[in-house]
Amino acid sequence: MSSDIPGFELPLRLLLGFRVLIDELHAELGRQGHPDMRPTHGFVMQAIGRGSTTAVDLGRTLGVSKQAAGKTIDVLERIGYVERTVDPHDTRRKIVRLTPYGVDALVRSGHIFETLRERWAGELGEERVQAMVADLRKVTPPDLFRLDTPGWFGTL
Amino acid sequence: MSSDIPGFELPLRLLLGFRVLIDELHAELGRQGHPDMRPTHGFVMQAIGRGSTTAVDLGRTLGVSKQAAGKTIDVLERIGYVERTVDPHDTRRKIVRLTPYGVDALVRSGHIFETLRERWAGELGEERVQAMVADLRKVTPPDLFRLDTPGWFGTL
DNA sequence: TCTATATAGTGAACCAGGTTGTCTATCGTG
DNA sequence: CACGATAGACAACCTGGTTCACTATATAGA
């Protein structure tokens, strides 16, 4: 059952591909002790990385308002993935850091994604997966977290 | 700023590819007389065009609740893309049909997607675009509108 | 040094697009 | 013809965004 709009298949397959990977990631993360992690969280935690960030900084990186970033940090803090400390050099700022539990989620995500990628490579061939990523790199913005559509991040 | 998680690039590129196409589609649709059309609407209208005729039916096709489908139909009706008529054979049912304005939006979407696909083919080569779609078809669900994740549709 | 401006974080009100639960009207079958 | 299934609508709620408004702090300039 194909679409009535021929050109529609390309964007749809890209979306479905993304969804398939993300859904399987979170199903597996749930089994590995991270049942509360949502797709958004992975992106945010990656943006936080091992370094220190603030809500404003994070919002800028992800392309959302500082308030939205702040809300997400609230959630992440509540479920134990990040912690906030006051910046001694600027008492307005609150520095966000990953907790060990947060780092664990990120490390496991990496392993799961590798496994999924290997599964795709098994079906398509490793060179096809590499080609797909290489091709997409040519037609998408260079900076992973930058897309000038406000709120694009909500697509998770 | 590259990701700390190596396997993360594949899903992210898929998402970015989708977003790039959808964003350009809607920018161009806005210029062509459809400024109020949202990414969701294209999916819903396509489902309607393919024969999903009531809210319940539409919800089933899209994998969302009948209430969610009903809300979306309300919006689409208000901005003139669809119209509801009562089914003479079953007065409980309200049959949803595309208006000419709705058909126009769908036709224009098709042309714009074709143009965008050609742009990609110009950068990557037509055979690479074909290969990408073919590969993705192998690793994603066969039915375009079926993904067993409830609410996946909200990813637009 | 003091003042003006910029910045960090927070709260509130709002929106979109989902969810579940409940209710009514109608259909269709045993 | 009664009863179970179905279609639609309404309400309350959730999540993850938005903007506006505010406080507290930092910093640059007269």
Query: Each residue of B27-69: pLDDT tens digit?
Result: 899 999 999 898 888 888 989 988 878 999 999 988 899 999 9
Nearest C-alpha in B relative to A105: B5
- How does residue B154 score in pLDDT terms, banded at 50, 70 and 90? very low
CB < 8 Å to A14, chain B = 14-15, 17-18, 21, 136
Question: Is 60 exceeded by the pLDDT of residue B112?
Answer: yes
Name, of A27-41, A66-80, B9-23, the range with top average pLDDT: A66-80
pLDDT value of residue A113: 94
Among B18, B106, B124, whose Cβ lies nearest the Cβ of A11? B18
Best of A8, A22, A118, A133 to disrupt the B interface (most B CBs within 10 Å) is A8
Q: What is the percent of chain B with per-residue pLDDT over 90, rounded to a whole number?
A: 62
Asked if residue B84 lies in contact with residue B77, where contact means CB atoms within 8 angstroms, the answer is yes
Percentage of residues of chain B with pLDDT beyond 70: 87
Residue B149 has pLDDT above 70, yes or no: no
Q: Look at B19 and A149 and tell me if their CB atoms are within 8 Å.
A: yes
State the nearest residue by CA to the C1' of C27. B90
Per-residue pLDDT, averaged over A20-29, amounts to: 90
pLDDT tens digits, one per residue of A75-87:
999 999 999 999 9
Distance from the Cα of A98 to chain B's closest Cα (Å) equals 13
Task: Collect all residues of chain A within an 8 Å Cβ-Cβ radius of residue B132.
Answer: 10, 13, 132, 135-136
Does B139 contact A at CB distance below 8 Å? yes
pTM above 0.90, yes or no: no
